[in-house]
Structure 1
Amino acid sequence: MSEKHVDEISGVETTGHEWDGIRELNNPMPRWWVWTFYVCILWAIGYAFAYPAIPMITSATKGYLGFSSRAELQQDVDVAKAGQMKFHDMIATRTVQEIDADPALREFAIAGGASAFKVNCAPCHGSGASGGPGFPNLNDDDWLWGGDLDSINTTVAHGIRFDGDADTHVSEMPAFADMLSPDQTKQVAAYVWGLTNTPSNPAAAEAGKQIFLDNCAACHGENAKGKADMGAPDLADAIWLKGRGEDAIARQVTAPKHGVMPSWAARLGDSTVKELTVFVHSLGGGT
């Protein structure tokens, strides 16, 4: 029986295998590691039998325990919905004032309204409700149709100039291109801009005041503070929906743009409209 070869450098026996003068050291894995590996194999086999694991053509093996992550998720969703049902029932039967007065119900309504807002309202008003050119900022205190709970609820439910709803808000600013001369248009634009800024021509702005009183005050008020019942904006608060500056005002006077907002009552239902109302009111600009 030949003696086993021992590597001179490491002092470890070799396996007897040799390739081109290179010998393989006999360094077997530690026994604890080998037994751990065997246990893992047994665990994997048991797991494959107990849980869904082996892919098939159109599905996978069900597993001895019949576990399903989808079924578990659905169970959690059902439990969550059951917990929310009492709040949904209360929102359905209470007014927006009663919802807003109940701290727990208000918190639930704001959360639901925020979710509905991101899906339905954010494309126009922005994800933060800050609006944009032609789309009102819902965080400020400037409200075309009123900022109290009832007014917001009516606006959300029935929309603005929406043909599919008979109760929608309707107002229309006339085009003054055929009523005012170009000079008069510039004068009234200078006057309106001068309510919150320095007009380019103070004399023109002074002349525009009487033009405003004769043609615009019926809707916007003699003080230009607007009228919510007519959807006429406040022109004296430095908040501009259609554009800033005398040129933008002149264009609006000449050929006004009219925004349209959908009616959400039929699409979302009364409860979601109430949640949206409370959410929008909570942004800080509600009255």
Structure 2
Amino acid sequence: MSVEERDPVSGYLTTGHDWNGIKELNSPVPRIVFAFMVVTHLYALVAWVLLPTWPLGQTFTRGLLGLDQKTAVAADLATADAARAGWTQALATLEFDTVRADPDLMARALTTAAPLYGQNCQACHGADGIGGPGFPRLKDGIWLWGGTADEIATTLRVGINAAHPDTHYAQMPAFGRDELLARAEISVLTDYVRTLGNGVIPADPAEGAVLFQTNCAACHGEDARGVEGSGAPNLTDANWVYGGDALSIRNTLIVGRQGQMPSWQSRLTEAEIRAMALYIEGLSGVAP
């Protein structure tokens, strides 16, 4: 029969385990632990009844309190929309000149547009509209489809080569891939386009000029300065969307170009589109 040993200091029985003179005590679990377990179990039972708890396939038990975070968030958004309704309605309907003349409304528009630009446009056009390979720069005041707030808003609504029925449409043929020009002609035209700093002289008898007038002038203009609103860029300045070096120009002539921008009409409200138009218009620093 075992003999119980009691610790003389604490008064607790030992378990009989001894590690180099250190004896393990058979101390009881603190009562507070039992109390905590009782409280948590009671809370769980009450929560099962009052709060959304059990999954039921595609739904769940709603609980007696009917609490739902999705409903709460929707209510918060509705409250926020109601608070914003006054100035968003004004932004969506007033003329841009009227909006610009109202400092408070203009400030709200730009404050709203800045994060929208970061979320929807920055990935392609870069921070602050600095552009990137294949994506136009928005800071230089040079526009393919027009740079007024009204024109920018239209471009945002319909997109470029997008699914919108009224989308801006522009496509440069693949002169090489589709065998519209011979490789030798593409080489001549490449060299000619690189010399267009002073514009095209229509009467220039050089082979490159003749090729340009025959194949390119219909879109880019006889003077190669582009046609705003058609998507055909100016070829006489230093602003290139796909690159102005010989290799880039040659590649453009061979494979063609068809830049795309989505229509934002189904993703942004009219007020947000117009706020974005004012914001983008301001990136160029050109006064309306």
TM-score range, shorter chain: 0.5 to 0.7
Task: Give the CA deviation at 1:155.
Answer: 2.4
Match in the other structure for 1:13: 11
2:104 and 2:274 map into 1 onto residues whose CA distance is: 15
Shift of 1:189: 2.8
Q: Over the residues paired in the alignment, what is the CA RMSD in angstroms?
A: 4.8
**Are the aligned partners of 1:165 and 1:263 in contact in 2 as well (CA < 8 Å)?**
no
Task: Compute the displacement of 1:109 (Å).
Answer: 3.4
5+ residue gaps, structure 2, are: 199-203
Match of 1:38 among 16, 35, 38: 35
Give the Cα separation in 2 of the matches to 1:66 and 1:28. Answer: 42
Residue by residue, what CA displacement relative to the aligned partner does 1:64-83 show, whole Å, maximum 9, x if unpaired?
Answer: x5544444333322211211
* 8 Å CA contact retained: 2:117, 2:276: yes
Q: Does 1:86 align with 2:75?
A: no
Query: In structure 2, the residue corresponding to 1:155 is in which secondary structure?
Result: helix
Equivalent in 177, 185, 209 of residue 211 of structure 1: 209
Q: Does 1:147 align with 2:151?
A: no
**Secondary structure of the residue that 1:73 maps to in structure 2?**
helix
Query: 1:86 is aligned with what amino acid?
Result: G
User: What is aligned with 2:245?
Assistant: 245
Deviation string, structure 1 residues 97-156 (Cα, Å, up to 9, x no partner): 333443443344345545665676567546875544333233443321222212212322
Cα pair 2:171 2:256 within 8 Å, conserved: no
Which residue is equivalent to 1:77? Answer: 77
- State the 1:95 CA deviation: 2.2
Q: Specify the code of the residue in structure 1 equivalent to 2:79.
A: V
The question of whether the paired residues in 2 share the 8 Å contact of 1:138 and 1:285 is answered with: no
Distance 1:234 1:147 in 2: 15
Identity of aligned residues (%): 27
CA distance in 2 between counterparts of 1:252 and 1:20 reads 85
8 Å Cα contact 1:220-1:233 kept in structure 2 = no
Give the stretch that moved more between structures: 139-148 or 263-272: 263-272
The residue type equivalent to 2:244 in the other structure is: R
> Which residue identity does 1:177 align to in structure 2?
L
Per mean C-alpha deviation after superposition, the further-off stretch among 118-127 and 142-151 is: 118-127
What residue identity is the alignment partner of 2:136? P
Q: Which amino acid aligns with 1:62?
A: G
Query: Counterpart of 1:190 in structure 2: which amino acid?
Result: R
- Distance in 2 separating the partners of 1:142 and 1:82: 38
Whether the 8 Å CA contact 1:87–1:105 is kept in 2: the answer is yes
> In 1, Cα distance between the equivalents of 2:255 and 2:26?
93
Match of 1:202 in 2: none
Change (3 A) 1:254 1:23: closer
Query: Which of 25, 37, 46 matches 1:49?
Result: 46
Using the TM superposition, give the Cα deviation of residue 240 of structure 1 relative to its aligned residue in structure 2, in angstroms. 1.3
Cα distance in 2 for partners of 1:187, 1:42 equals 84
Q: Give the TM-score taking structure 1 as reference length.
A: 0.64
Moved more, 16-25 or 244-253: 16-25
Q: 1:37 to 1:7 in 2, by over 3 A?
A: closer
- Does the 8 Å CA contact 1:149/1:286 hold for their aligned counterparts? no
DSSP 3-state at the match of 1:77: helix
Q: Would the alpha carbon gap of residues 275 and 161 (structure 1) be closer, same or farther in structure 2, given more than 3 Å must change?
A: same
Task: Single out whichever of 87-96 and 213-222 deviates more from structure 2.
Answer: 213-222
Contact 1:125–1:135 (Cα < 8 Å) also in 2: yes
Q: Which secondary structure state, in structure 1, belongs to the residue aligned with residue 194 of structure 2?
A: helix
Amino acid at match of 2:209: I
C-alpha offsets along residues 161-184 of structure 1, whole Å, 9 cap, x if unaligned? Answer: 568545846686896838x94564
Structure-1 separation of matches of 2:247 and 2:15: 93
Secondary structure of 2:153's counterpart equals helix
- 1:200 equivalent in structure 2: none
- Does the CA-based 8 Å contact 1:15-1:23 persist in structure 2? no
- Which residue does the alignment assign to 2:99? 99
Task: For 1:148, give the aligned amino acid.
Answer: T
Q: Where does 1:149-188 land on structure 2 (aligned, <5 Å)?
A: 149-160=149-160, 165=165, 168=168, 177=181, 181=185, 184-188=188-192
Question: How many equivalent residue pairs?
Answer: 265
